[in-house]
Structure 1
Amino acid sequence: MTKVSVIIPNYNHARFLEKRIHTVLQQTYQDFEVICLDDASTDASNYMISKFSNNQRFQTIYNNINSGSPFKQWEKGLQIAKGEYIWIAESDDYADLRFLEKLVPLLDQNPNIGLVYSQSLGVDENDHVMRNWKTWTDDLDSDRWSNDFINNGSDECQKYLIFKNTIPNASAVLMRRSVLEKTGKIDTQMRLAGDWLLWAKMLTISDIAFVAEPLNNFRTHTNVVRNTSKPYLELEERLQVVRYISQQIDIPHNFWEIVFNPSIGWWIRMIFRGEIPLSRSHKIYQLLKNIDPNINYRLFTIFFKTLKSKLSL
């Protein structure tokens, strides 16, 4: 059996594809297959992909119609993959050539670990390093992500993952296929938080490992899926993830102050600004209610405090 299946989902990333594919094929650890999925790109992606068509470990699947979701491409790749481990190598990112060499042994030596990920560097369109993504988690714990660690999955969810997506880039993650399959299919209806929900599902049934060395380069540019004209979508999907985690573990005491109440405030502001359709507003209300059955009392309290602060001005 092939050890690692590398899935490269692509849509209009011709500019970055060659570097992405080279940093996969030139890995110092070589037991892998590559599955490149092009989602009906309209740029020169097909030409860039064709340069690697003679590589025996490289296969390409082309969509005639764009799927509309990166997570549909993930699921499609998983149905084809044969490897014991899965690496979703996003087409606009690129890796240190030692990425697999460093991460594979952690899964080999620790059968309870469902996923391992490395720290990432943030880069721009021209490969200039802009940040170390450790800053993303510093508000949760400024020291924890400075060192390698292994942790119980449920503990990871309760202390960290329920507050934010502490694994912000799939390209940094190596997953155990057997654990991934136990979670069921990826939620392909999501556009923004499908990865966060997947990590949560995996970590309720397995453990996690982290490598502090930045072995992944997470690219920021204008043509990214996470750019959306629907501001309510981020809140809606965020609450879906939080609801799932809250159903699996005991909610930490500071969750309400850090996550829940600010989410309510965010929702209310969108309503007053006319940024959210009535049907989506109702969906968000139901998500909030599923997390906290006393949502009506909480809404009243927040409204009263807001009104009182305004009257005192």
Structure 2
Amino acid sequence: MVSLPQISVIIPSYNYACFLESAIDSVLQQSYQHFEIIAWDDGSGDDSLPILRRYAAQHPERFRYFQHEGGQNKGIAATYRAAVAQAKGTWIAFLEADDVWHKENLSLKAEALKKSAEAGVVFSECRPFGQMSGVLYWKLHAWLNQSFLPRYQPIDLTAELLQRNPVASFSNFMVRKDLFDQVPDPQNRILFYDWWVLAHVSLSAPFCFVPKKLCDWRIHSQSANYRKESAQSVMGLKNFLENMLDSMRLELENAGECAGTDILSKKKKIIRHLDFYRSFEIQRAGSWFFAFLTHPWETIRFAGHFLLRNLLF
């Protein structure tokens, strides 16, 4: 018999007081009750802290909240890292303060582990809602990236994560704590920290996909995911991918030439994609043309991302 895992739910809070209660209530109402909640305020200037204090007083057995020393704002990576350090569970589930879980979210993901015990990440579909243009983009993203994934079985997502994030949102997955603890910290604040975490974890463990919409993902004008792409933002994405792939390459460096074929194959794919991202400059048309000649599919995907976001947002 597979024992029920203890899950630590991490809720970061930064100026989302208007959404925070709905997020917390959606966790407390889960049918799966083997969890604790750790909320961490990242220097909010609104009423987030009074809300967190109230929930801590009402649910002292399972709700704890923290903030950075001096009420500082340190960014998402530092906030998640600090919160996970306080976690007691063997699995970490994340819920961004503007999102909402469905009642069976934790239950169905814990159930999936019985069929895929070796998985390091369990993720599901989500339901984007809110600003319609953003909703259309992320629905299309889900159809392109999740429709053909194997269900309820171990899958290697490293190749996909080298160029896109099929999981899409922090609120959409849970990860083994020991694997999260092994993920290196990024050098700077980054926008795509969920992608960073997932890509590094994929080097050492398979994922498991639950084909059900278990999270309502709010898309709104204050969201990091709601924006047009400029040359500057695409350059930021390019730089992020270079840094992420370089970090992943270093993770595999110690494997050496005696590594198994799986590790060596992943290393070759990482180096190929690194070469692609380093091969062109965003603002030079000639550089795009050269990149297309040497890496056609990667260039088409990168350009498609740029064009689609600017059409829909």
For the Cα contact (< 8 Å) 1:14–1:48, is it kept in 2? yes
Q: Distance in 1 between matches of 2:243 and 2:96?
A: 24
Q: Distance in 1 between matches of 2:291 and 2:269?
A: 24
Query: What are the within-5 Å matches in structure 2 for residues 124-273 of structure 1?
Result: 124=130, 130-131=135-136, 133=138, 135-139=140-144, 143-145=147-149, 148-153=151-156, 156-158=157-159, 160-181=160-181, 183-187=182-186, 189-225=188-224, 231=233, 232-245=235-248, 249-251=266-268, 264-265=279-280, 267-269=281-283
**C-alpha displacement of 1:222:** 2.1
Q: Distance in 2 between matches of 1:208 and 1:7?
A: 20
Q: What's 1:50 paired with?
A: 53
Could you say what secondary structure the match of 2:19 adopts? helix
1:77-131 CA-partner distances (Å, limit 9, x unpaired):
1110000110111111110010001001223553310000010111117x99945
1:249-273 CA-partner distances (Å, limit 9, x unpaired):
15559x76xx9658755x340x79x
1:139–1:51 Cα change, 3 Å: same
Residue 23 of structure 1, aligned match among 26, 30, 39? 26
**C-alpha displacement of 1:65:** 3.4
Could you say what secondary structure the match of 1:151 adopts? coil
For the Cα contact (< 8 Å) 1:2–1:31, is it kept in 2? yes
Q: Distance in 1 between matches of 2:80 and 2:187?
A: 9
Q: Which amino acid aligns with 1:175?
A: V
**C-alpha displacement of 1:227:** 6.7
Could you say what secondary structure the match of 2:120 adopts? strand
Residue 10 of structure 2, aligned match among 7, 31, 34? 7
Q: Distance in 1 between matches of 2:222 and 2:91?
A: 29
Q: Which amino acid aligns with 1:46?
A: L
Q: Which amino acid aligns with 1:189?
A: N
**C-alpha displacement of 1:207:** 0.9
Q: Distance in 2 between matches of 1:46 and 1:113?
A: 35
Q: What's 1:79 paired with?
A: 85
Q: State the percentage of identical aligned residues.
A: 22
**Stretch moving more, 202-211 or 226-235:** 226-235
1:138–1:240 Cα change, 3 Å: farther
For the Cα contact (< 8 Å) 1:120–1:218, is it kept in 2? yes
With structure 1 as the length reference, what TM-score do the two structures score? 0.73
Q: Distance in 1 between matches of 2:155 and 2:292?
A: 40
**C-alpha displacement of 1:50:** 3.0
Q: What's 1:118 paired with?
A: 124
Q: Distance in 1 between matches of 2:137 and 2:176?
A: 26
For the Cα contact (< 8 Å) 2:32–2:104, is it kept in 1? yes
* Residues 1:101 and 2:102 are matched in the alignment: no
Q: Say which one has the larger Rg.
A: 1
1:133-169 CA-partner distances (Å, limit 9, x unpaired):
452154457x414x6242343xx212x2222111110
1:299–1:176 Cα change, 3 Å: same
**Stretch moving more, 91-100 or 187-196:** 187-196
**C-alpha displacement of 1:33:** 0.7
Aligned residues: 268
For the Cα contact (< 8 Å) 2:13–2:39, is it kept in 1? yes
Cα RMSD (Å): 3.5
For the Cα contact (< 8 Å) 1:191–1:225, is it kept in 2? no
For the Cα contact (< 8 Å) 1:2–1:82, is it kept in 2? no
**C-alpha displacement of 1:199:** 0.8
**C-alpha displacement of 1:21:** 0.3
Structure 2 unpaired stretches of 5+: 253-262, 294-313
